[in-house]
Amino acid sequence: MRLSTAGFHRNSIDAILEHQYKLSKTQQQITTGKKFQSAAEDPIGAVRGAALDRTLADNEQYSRNSNIVESRLKYEEQSLADATALLQSARDLALAGANSTLGQAERRMLANDVRQQLSALMEVANRDDSNGEFLFAGTRTATRPFAQTSSGVVYNGDLTSRQIRISSTQALADSHTGSDVFMNIAERNGVFRTTNGAANTGNGSIDVGRVVNPTAWVAGNYTVQFTTATDWQVVDDATPTPNVITTGTGFRPGQSINFNGITVTITGTPAANDTFEIQPAQDTDMFAMLEELAVTLETSGPTAGAGADFNNRIGAAIANLDQALERTVGVRAEVGARLSAIDQATNVRESEAVDLQSLLSDLRDVDYAKAISELNQQYAGLQAAQAAYTKIAQMSLFDFLR
Amino acid sequence: MADMLGTGLSSLRALQRALDTTAHNIANVNTEGYTRQRVDFATRKPSVYGSAWIGNGVNATQVKRVYDQFLQDSVRSSSGALGRLEAFASQAERLDNLLGDTSAGLSASLQSYTDAINEVASTPTSISARQVLLAEGRALVDKLKNYDARLSEMSADVDTRLTVEAGEINTLATGVARLNGEIAVAMQRTGQPPNDLLDQRDQLIEQLSAKVGVTVVAEGDTNVNVFIGTGQPLVLGTTASQVTTVADTLDPSRVRMALQTPSGTVDISRTISGGTLGGLLDWRSEMLDPTRNELGRITLAVASQVNGVHREGMDLTGALGGDFFNVGGVGVTYPSTNTTATTATATRTNIGAITTSDYVITKTATGYAVRNQETGLPVTFTWAGGAADPLQFDGLSVTVGAGVATNDQFVIHPTRDAISGFGVAITDPARIAAAAPLRTAAVSTNTGTGSISQAEVLTPGGTTLSDVNIVFTSATTYTVNGGASQTYAAGGNIDFNGWRLQISGAPAGGDTFTVRSNAGAVGDNRNAFALADAMKAGTLEGGTVSVAAAVERMTGNLGLQTQAAQMSRDAESVVHENDIAARDSVSGVNLDEEAANMMRYQQAYAAAAQIIAISGELFDSLLNAVRR
């Protein structure tokens, strides 16, 4: 086959240029550390890489979100611990106040202490987080959630908790509303409240009672009436003629009265015609509980002639505080569960991130060993092409024409 | 009469021609399109001496091109194919370089914007997080606008290139026509083909073919006729037609190719193929226009998705959210061929159904015809038949103004203008609607177990935020704000004031549920949360493709198309090189061969000169013999 001189030069230069192009591609791969620079070099890899990038970026966002939720929940956890301590110490004060050997002046001091706890609890309930957002205001985080009014403490926040995404499938509330924590707590034993009749003449006092059989309990107003000092009956509030639920005779102080699945105990000695009221429990709040306890300690005592009433009220106060403590324990348990959910999500996310990174690296990152060996190969190829070209191009028959 | 001197002289003359031709070959070793030439030798007519024929020497009968028409045609056709693929691939690479960077491209901007929404969702009270969201929104707008500007520059570049290429085609065509004439004259004068002129003409046709696909038909011995498109004559004998660019009647912003023939101007945009010109036109319709429309569609999807959710929310000032993004409307252009100045207004009714195509609406005698501008295929549409009734198709609603005449046309660009009007509508970070607009609650004194859901906004932007109380008049009936008594169904929808909620459980008579404006709930992130989810949700292709996925798909498609174009170009370039090598192996100059020829002719020339010398000596001998 004939070869034209111009064609020979063109082919040789084309081959050298091709070598140079490949060499520069490999060089670019090595300097950037990436297998491909634009989507055209590996369309499938580019799209898959972009999708993985997106998942990783989302993960990073979830991680930031988790930190925010975690920090806020830890603030809440601390506040709840403080609230628990305050309620516990108030309960201790109530127990101390119940001691019949205490004088009224000492009880007043205890009442002062209770008021201290009350204002400390207000401070806890109105705490804010590091961003200056109130912790217990729901989503009205710029509104001071709890305010003292003439009719007690009112809640000014709302009932919504902020949900924050911590994984593609999981969102967590970053706080509890003040209403969920401090307000709307069923009083006493949580089911019913007991009071001594206002016109009682004996010194019988009813305790807070308890529910023995929840299914037998029928919510309603009931009255324990002593027809004599030892005979009694329980009636409901039907009009005009109340129904008699149960009756008893031979009452002895400290005896339990059972009906409709509940049991109440009356201590002291009731007189004939004395009554004790049993009504469905109402919702109260922690602040009202402490206020009530303080008022009880201030205004009466077992020695002040209203012993029966005091016993009933101090018993109620202690039961209330137990309810409040139970609430804080419940909320703290939820906070703990959320914190552990965050930990779990973080673990999942981190191991997923490692997987994704290695996938992405397989997809996009240069295998240096391979690339450098390729570079050497291409370098040798270019050198050989150049050497061959210069050698062959030098040869010409004209050199021998004399 | 044969004689040695005459023979020697004929040999000297013939070899001189041969040496001249060899020198010409050497001189043109690097001339593009040059075909090596060869001298044909033939013996002269012999003379008769008695019964013997004595030769009379040699003649150089003809200087021939060493030429193969088939090989030349192959080179020309592969150069046309290569011209097209090179233009296509290099333009595709520009597009791929602009949009194909997955780490710094549109995907990254979109991700930053989504991250910023998430940041607002986790810290809705933070003004700085809101400012970042506005800044990222503006960055996204800038990025899309920048891309759109670059793409429209590329489109304008194509128009410029078309004009330039048309000029070059005209120069080449004129050259071919002129050479046709010169070759005819030369042939007439000598009866021999003018080799160098033929080379030049082949070269011009090859260059022409690299610019636009041509068909070459030889006419007689001297003329070649050149046709483009589907047989439109570019060169006929010694006349060349002019290729020009004219404004597109359907889209005045771009040009079309036309051919000015003696019989009038012919539109050849649709028919030309091959060559640089074909490559540019194909690239514009196959890659550039779809990409621009796809970007527009992505813009629409982002805007509609974000706006839709944003308008359901409440901002820090307690007002309902407005639009987050402004977006350009549907573009309508009017062909210059319209006989009336009737306008049409088009709106988008369903973002999920919007395609990346443009449409041409034509008024017919009885109604309208709608066709896809790219494919030319008819599009089904609904139209109630009245003059003021809108035409509805592919997520669009188009109302044609009064006074429309038959054959008037309207070109609808559903997505192209979306980006030019794209912008962030909000400047005050407090106006980002991160909160839900309403809050619901059960009154704490309720005795039943009924619970109320959150209120869902039914008509974004049209919700009334006034206080509403839902009071249960019995365990099974309720009134809304004291209205008519309604029967309670647990979990059933209660719609009022543009919102919807559900009450479930067993409410007791006298229980009350409240719906209040959520003003003041600065820490509420419900709407920002919904915004973040909306960015991940499917919006496009009937709600199956999220915006981020659409961006990735577009990038991937561009990459695939570019890769395919590069591969075709590389393959065609090998074909073209092989064609050239095959032609060169016949027609190319080889210097060593010429050196050998030169030696050959030089030696023969020296021998011929020796003949003259010997014949002189012979003559001298004769003279000396008779000198007495």
Residue of B nearest to A132 (CA): B125
pLDDT digits (tens, 9 = 90+) for B61-113: 999 999 999 999 999 999 999 999 999 999 999 998 888 776 678 888 898 99
Would you call A369 an interface residue with chain B, using a CB distance cutoff of 8 Å? no
Q: What is the pLDDT, as a whole number, of residue A298?
A: 85
User: Pick from A236, A195, A231: which is nearest to A217 by CA?
Assistant: A236
Average pLDDT over residues A342-353: 92
Considering the domain architecture, whether residues B62 and B79 belong to the same structural domain is answered as no
Determine the distance in angstroms separating the CA of B580 from the nearest CA of chain A, rounded to an integer: 8
Question: Which residue matches tokens 């004129």?
Answer: B174
The answer as to whether B592 is a domain residue is: yes
Q: Does A301 score more than 70 pLDDT? A: no
Q: What is the pLDDT, as a whole number, of residue B1?
A: 42
Q: Does A304 score more than 50 pLDDT? A: no
Considering the domain architecture, whether residues B549 and B596 belong to the same structural domain is answered as no
Instruction: Give the C-alpha distances (Å, rounded to integers) separating A324 from A27, A80, A85, A321, B240.
Output: 71, 11, 11, 5, 101
pLDDT digits (tens, 9 = 90+) for A245-275: 888 888 888 888 888 889 999 888 888 888 8
All residues of chain B having their beta carbon less than 8 Å from the beta carbon of residue A10 are 580
Hey, are the CB atoms on B119 and A57 less than 8 Å from each other?
no
Average pLDDT over residues A174-178: 90
Would you call B107 an interface residue with chain A, using a CB distance cutoff of 8 Å? yes
Interface test with B, best of A2, A32, A187, A282 (most B CBs within 10 A): A2
- How many other β-carbons are positioned within 10 Å of the β-carbon of residue B235? 28
Would you call B96 an interface residue with chain A, using a CB distance cutoff of 8 Å? yes
Question: Which residue matches tokens 């107003």?
Answer: A221
pTM > 0.90: no
Q: What is the pLDDT, as a whole number, of residue A54?
A: 87
The answer as to whether B525 is a domain residue is: no
The answer as to whether B429 is a domain residue is: no
Identify whether the C-beta of residue A160 lies closer than 8 Å to the C-beta of residue B526.
yes
The token duo for A205 is 């006092």
Total number of domains in chain B:
4
Label residue A252 exposed, middle or buried (CB < 10 Å: 0-12, 13-18, 19+).
Answer: exposed
The whole-chain average pLDDT of chain A stands at: 89
Q: What is the pLDDT, as a whole number, of residue B266?
A: 84
All residues of chain A having their beta carbon less than 8 Å from the beta carbon of residue B562 are 38-40
Would you call B611 an interface residue with chain A, using a CB distance cutoff of 8 Å? no
For B621, residues 6+ apart whose C-beta sits below 8 A from its C-beta are none
Longest CA–CA separation in chain A, Å: 156
β partners of residue B470: B480, B513
* Rounded Cα–Cα distance for residues A360 and A52 (Å): 7
* Rounded Cα–Cα distance for residues B87 and B572 (Å): 13
Considering the domain architecture, whether residues B380 and B442 belong to the same structural domain is answered as no
Identify whether the C-beta of residue A204 lies closer than 8 Å to the C-beta of residue A269.
yes
The answer as to whether B311 is a domain residue is: no
Q: What is the pLDDT, as a whole number, of residue B361?
A: 92
- How many other β-carbons are positioned within 10 Å of the β-carbon of residue B360? 19
Considering the domain architecture, whether residues B174 and B89 belong to the same structural domain is answered as yes
The token duo for A399 is 């050199």
DSSP state of B22: H
Q: What is the pLDDT, as a whole number, of residue A357?
A: 92
Hey, are the CB atoms on B435 and A139 less than 8 Å from each other?
yes
The answer as to whether B88 is a domain residue is: yes
Considering the domain architecture, whether residues B219 and B339 belong to the same structural domain is answered as no
* Rounded Cα–Cα distance for residues B535 and B111 (Å): 10
Q: What is the residue range of B444's domain?
A: 438-517
Q: Can you tell me whether residue B332 is helix, strand or coil? A: strand
Q: Per-residue b/e over B274-311, b at no fewer than 16 CB within 10 Å?
A: bbbbbbbbbbbeebbbbbbbbbbbbbbbbbbbbbbbbb
The answer as to whether B309 is a domain residue is: no
Determine the distance in angstroms separating the CA of B215 from the nearest CA of chain A, rounded to an integer: 27
* Rounded Cα–Cα distance for residues A127 and A218 (Å): 40
Q: Per-residue b/e over B16-32, b at no fewer than 16 CB within 10 Å?
A: ebbbebbebbbebbeee
Identify whether the C-beta of residue B213 lies closer than 8 Å to the C-beta of residue B200.
no
The answer as to whether B454 is a domain residue is: yes
> Which residue type does A216 have?
A
Give the CA dihedral B606, B608, B614, B616, nearest 10 degrees.
Answer: -110
Which H or E run contains A196? strand A192-196
Hey, are the CB atoms on A7 and B580 less than 8 Å from each other?
yes
Considering the domain architecture, whether residues B226 and B169 belong to the same structural domain is answered as yes
Considering the domain architecture, whether residues B595 and B560 belong to the same structural domain is answered as no
Q: Per-residue b/e over B406-441, b at no fewer than 16 CB within 10 Å?
A: eebbbbbbbbbbbbbebbbebeebebbbbbbbbbbb
Would you call B531 an interface residue with chain A, using a CB distance cutoff of 8 Å? no
Interface test with A, best of B467, B584, B593, B603 (most A CBs within 10 A): B584
Would you call A298 an interface residue with chain B, using a CB distance cutoff of 8 Å? no
All residues of chain A having their beta carbon less than 8 Å from the beta carbon of residue B555 are 39, 46-47, 50
Considering the domain architecture, whether residues B408 and B463 belong to the same structural domain is answered as no
For B401, residues 6+ apart whose C-beta sits below 8 A from its C-beta are B342, B343, B344, B345
Label residue B317 exposed, middle or buried (CB < 10 Å: 0-12, 13-18, 19+).
Answer: exposed
Considering the domain architecture, whether residues B282 and B408 belong to the same structural domain is answered as no
Hey, are the CB atoms on A163 and B563 less than 8 Å from each other?
no
Q: What is the pLDDT, as a whole number, of residue B103?
A: 67
Would you call A131 an interface residue with chain B, using a CB distance cutoff of 8 Å? yes
Considering the domain architecture, whether residues B505 and B551 belong to the same structural domain is answered as no
Q: What is the pLDDT, as a whole number, of residue A302?
A: 58
Considering chain A, what percentage of its residues have pLDDT values greater than 70? 98
Q: Between residues 76 and 105 of chain A, which touch chain B (CB distance below 8 Å)?
A: none
The answer as to whether B334 is a domain residue is: yes
All residues of chain A having their beta carbon less than 8 Å from the beta carbon of residue B103 are 53
Considering the domain architecture, whether residues B333 and B352 belong to the same structural domain is answered as yes
Considering the domain architecture, whether residues B373 and B470 belong to the same structural domain is answered as no
Q: Between residues 562 and 601 of chain B, which touch chain A (CB distance below 8 Å)?
A: 562-563, 566, 577, 580-581, 584-593, 595-596, 598-599
Identify whether the C-beta of residue B311 lies closer than 8 Å to the C-beta of residue B322.
yes
* Rounded Cα–Cα distance for residues A268 and A276 (Å): 13
β partners of residue B400: B344
User: Pick from A158, A160, A173, A84: which is nearest to A121 by CA?
Assistant: A84
Would you call B22 an interface residue with chain A, using a CB distance cutoff of 8 Å? no
Determine the distance in angstroms separating the CA of B554 from the nearest CA of chain A, rounded to an integer: 9
DSSP state of B288: I
Average pLDDT over residues A165-194: 88
* Rounded Cα–Cα distance for residues B496 and B463 (Å): 9
All residues of chain A having their beta carbon less than 8 Å from the beta carbon of residue B558 are 39-40
* Rounded Cα–Cα distance for residues A177 and B321 (Å): 25
- Write out residues in chain B with pLDDT < 70, as ranges: 1-2, 102-103, 461, 628
